[in-house]
Amino acid sequence: MDIRTAFYAPSSADLSRPKCPRCGSVLFAAERSTFNPNGRIRHTWSCDECGNEFVTSITILPPQA
């Protein structure tokens, strides 16, 4: 039996929280998030353990027809 779904189910790797590149601590919430109309979201993170700040960026893909 072959079952197909119409939605994208992220893998567990997609749901993982970012880690501080300096000390490796897991971070839970971004300090700030900004959305670019071209489909990019930038998250600014600040590590509670060591104070390191860094930015991650993701692209939101438009829905496919």
Q: Write down the pLDDT at residue 11.
A: 47
Strand-pairing partners, residue 19, are: 26
- Cα–Cα nearest to 34, from 53, 60, 14, 57: 57
Global pTM reads: 0.66
Q: Write down the pLDDT at residue 23.
A: 95
DSSP 21: T
One digit per residue, pLDDT tens: the chain, 65 residues?
A: 545 444 444 445 445 789 999 999 999 999 999 998 888 999 999 999 999 999 999 998 776 65
Q: Write down the pLDDT at residue 62.
A: 72
